[in-house]
Amino acid sequence: MASKTKKQIGKVANWILTFVLMLVIGLPGLWVVLTAFRPNREILAKPAIWIPEKLSLDNFGKIFGYGVDQIAIPVPSYFANSLIISLTSTAIALLIGMSGGYAFARFRFKRKNGYFLALMLSRTVPGIALSLPIFMVWSRLGLIDTKMGMIIIYVALNIPFTIWLIDGFFRQIPKEMSEAAQVDGCTRWQAFWKIEFPLAKSGVASAGIFAFLTSWNEYALASQLTRSTDSKTLPVGLMDFTAQFTIDWAGMSAMAVIIIVPALILTFLVQKHLIAGLTFGGVKG
């Protein structure tokens, strides 16, 4: 009996701890979302109004240029820039990650471990420390304030991780799978796309989400290297809401929601591919 109650207490404690942790993680997000739908009066009220009295889409209308008091912020261009830069850089990073990961998992070549380590070590340098050198090189190359410039940076940032993650997934697939397919009549290329790729799909999907979110949310480098609607991304655009003495919290929160929603949608879409352990059962037992 005593042990049973003990177990129950443990369980309750567990739940409380989880709840507190989730509160810490989730509450700011929730507050941002709530703020996005509340009028300025409520947001700035002192003492704070905890329970929203009036929710509306006014803030969104405002930043898209509708309604009474407009703010001249080109959100649609920022959104388009973010989308183009993130999707393109993710696609390229995945392509290179897949080729690289496959090569590391399957082929023998000289200094393989050295290259692998070098790739990983490249990620130990904090991105912001690179901003000055990149700025200098990019300005010589004329890549400042271009989408291409940002795409290149994000590809470089994401490749080590995508290679590492995808390598791990290919490594789990016995090489006999591809050999069996080749004996069964496939070329090496067909064997890859028909057998190995479907089995590593969950790894590619995870790498894709990660790469997309990194580019989508990145602020530090983008804020240094983008200037105008040509290349400014959504996170950088958030700063447009700060004037010298005021911050437009309502507009900023509305934009934050605009940033969060596509990321959420994408994660949900890809999530169903994240079923790991698909290789189980193909080999021995």
Partner 1 sequence: MAEILLKDVVKNYGKLEVVHGINLFIEHNEFVVLVGPSGCGKSTTLRMIAGLEDITGGEISIGGTVVNDFAPRKRDISMVFQNYALYPHMSVRENLGFGLKIAKQPKDVIEERVNEAAVILNIEDLMDRTPAELSGGQRQRVAMGRAIVRHPQVFLFDEPLSNLDAKLRVQMRTEIKRLHQKVKTTIVYVTHDQVEAMTMADRIVVMKDGHIEQVGSPLEVFERPVDTFVASFIGSPPMNLIPGEVVMRDGRLHVAFNADQSVPVPASLADKTTEGQKVIFGFRADDLMPDGHAVPIMGEASGLRLTVDIAEPLGTETLLFCQFAGVDIQAKMYNPRMVKPGEVMDFKCALDKTHLFDAASGKSLRG
SS (H, E, C) 143-168: CCCCHHHHHHHHHHHHHHHHHHHHHH
Read off the DSSP letter of residue 247.
Answer: B
Rank residues 133 and 281 by Cβ distance to partner 1 and give the closer one.
281
> Is the link from the previous residue into 235 a cis peptide, with omega within 30 of 0?
no
First to last CA, the chain: 41
Contacting residues toward partner 1, per CB under 8 A: 174, 176-177, 179-187, 190, 194-195, 198-199, 278-285
Is 157:92 a contact under the CB 8 Å cutoff?
Answer: no
Please say which residue, 189 or 245, places its beta carbon nearer to partner 1: 189
State the minimum distance, in angstroms, from the CB of residue 198 to partner 1: 5
At closest approach, how far in Å is the CB of 108 from partner 1?
A: 9
Q: How far apart are CA 22 and CA 282, in angstroms?
A: 39
Nearer to partner 1, 199 or 238 (CB): 199
Q: How far is the CB of 102 from partner 1 (least distance, A)?
A: 17
| Cβ-count burial 40-52 (b if 16+ within 10 Å, e if not) | bebbeeeeeeeee
Least distance from partner 1 to the Cβ atom of residue 185, Å: 4
DSSP letter at 196 equals: I
Contact 207, 97 (CB under 8 A): yes
CB of 134 to partner 1, least distance (A): 41
Closest CA to 161 of 93, 68, 222, 213: 93
Nearer to partner 1 (CB atom), residue 76 or residue 282: 282
CB nearer partner 1, residue 28 or residue 198? 198
Judged by beta carbon, residue 41 or residue 188, the one nearer partner 1 is 188
Minimum gap (Å) between residue 278 Cβ and partner 1: 6
* Least Cβ distance, residue 135 to partner 1 (angstroms): 46
Place of tokens 């655009």: 237
**Among residues 199 and 252, whose Cβ is nearest to partner 1?**
199
**Count helices and strands in the chain by DSSP H and E runs:** 13, 0
